[in-house]
Amino acid sequence: MARTLFIGGTGNISESCVQRCLELGHHVAIITRGRSNIPAGVEVIVTDRYDYNSFKSALENREFDVIVNFVGYDIPELEVDYKILAGKIKQYIFISSATVYKKPHTQIPITEEHELGNPCSEYAQKKQKCEEWLMDRNSEGFPVTIVRPSHTFSERWLPNIVSSTTWTIPNRLICHKPVFLHDGGESLWTLTSSKDFAVGLCGLIGLDESIGEAFHITSDEANPWKTIYDRYSIELGLEPPEYISIPTDFLCEYFPELTASLKGDKAENAVFDNSKIKSFVPEFQCKDTMIAAVRKSMEWFRADESRQIIDKCADEKIEKILVRYLEV
């Protein structure tokens, strides 16, 4: 079993990965600033990951086999990890993003050999640069594994086009407010439950053969965005509404802040070939269908009214988009 440190272990995806690691018998530690609830059995290291001296001091008297970095977004952050950890660990797993693949997609399903390069998303560009920097370090002996999630969600999320962390879209459906879909919601989208993702990720922990490799870990199931939104209505006991179809080009022209999330992500057909992760981690399979995963999320939100938070900014943005489109 591996002594595993999670840099970022209480988030939407990482929480499930920590739990899976514990179930497999790994010694698990989490870097935290002390603001989140930590599962029983986890070693807690309170420090600020972005404060070099504090971070270095917290790790210098501890030994870990594997580091899993969920919160690496820029090369200077990775340089700190490298400076502190080089020569001391057996594996550094970097959580990148499936948004790094070239847009628009030139073929589907996407494999790990697909060309990289997303001209629409600064986030994706930074993740790609991080990957390239780490692979250069891997060639020098720093043991790197790259993992690329796509749209992965726990029961605390309801994926949508604008704000996946809130009750905003279901609330609009309940209140019979108009809801828009880009290009009629026809683009295919892959949703992966965090518990399924965790099986793939944790299967790579301590796996020597995965060093120097990149993997996306996603469901094999892809649905049109309209089908996903329809499922929300069905779970709420409502008839699906008549959505307002808005062209992606219009959305990006009049609301350029949506370009990264649409042309750089959600407006593209996201269909992935998971043969590689399955060959390295045979136990990986996605048990949660889109319907099952959405149902679990709906049940979580509806079990406690205090969880049904409306993102006012997101809701106002939806209204502005609809008004602008209907004016033209």
Beta bridge partner(s), residue 146: 94, 214
The share of the chain scoring above pLDDT 70, in percent, equals 99
Query: What is the mean pLDDT of the segment spanning 5-13?
Result: 87
Q: How far apart are CA 228 and CA 298, in angstroms?
A: 13
pLDDT at 39: 81
| Identity of the residue numbered 236 | L
pLDDT tens profile 218-245: 999 999 999 999 999 999 999 999 999 9
Where residue 11 falls among pLDDT bands split at 50, 70, 90? confident
Q: How far, CA to CA in Å, does 62 sit from each of 3, 46, 84, 115, 296?
A: 10, 13, 12, 39, 38
Q: What is the pLDDT of residue 4?
A: 97
Q: Which helix (H) or strand (E) holds 262?
A: none
The pLDDT value given to residue 264: 96
Mean pLDDT of 53-79: 93
Predicted local confidence at residue 35, as pLDDT: 62
> How close are the terminal C-alpha atoms of the chain, in Å?
61
* Confidence (pLDDT) at 121: 97
Encoded tokens for 243? 């959505």
Residue 32: predicted pLDDT: 83
Global pTM value: 0.95
**Cβ pair 185, 245 in contact under 8 A:** yes
Count Cβ neighbours within 10 Å for each residue of 71-100 and write b for 16 or more, e otherwise. Answer: ebeeeebbebbbebeeeebebbbbbbbbbb
Does the pLDDT at position 24 exceed 90?
yes
Q: How confident is the model at residue 174 (pLDDT cuts 50, 70, 90)?
A: very high
CA angle 97, 277, 195 (to 5 degrees): 70
- pLDDT at residue 226, as a whole number: 97
Instruction: State the pLDDT confidence band at 303, using cuts at 50, 70 and 90.
Output: very high
Please say if the pLDDT value at position 254 is more than 80. Answer: yes
Instruction: Return d(Cα 298, Cα 100) in angstroms, integer.
Output: 30
How far apart (Å, rounded) are the C-alpha atoms in residues 225 and 160?
A: 8
* Better-scored residue on pLDDT, 164 or 324: 324
**In the structure, what pLDDT confidence band is assigned to residue 173 with cuts at 50, 70 and 90?**
very high
Average pLDDT of span 283-299: 94
Walk me through the domains of the chain, giving residue ranges and CATH numbers. 3-152+191-217 (3.40.50.720), 156-190+223-269+289-327 (3.90.25)
Residue 198, SS3 per DSSP: helix
Residue 37, pLDDT > 80, answer no
Between CA 124 and CA 119 the distance in angstroms is 9
Mean pLDDT of all residues belonging to the chain: 94
DSSP 264: I
In the sheet with 27-32, reading across from the earlier edge strand, the strands are 43-46, 27-32, 3-7, 66-69, 91-95, 144-149, 214-217
For residue range 125-169, list pLDDT tens digits in order: 999 999 999 999 999 999 999 999 999 988 888 888 887 789 999
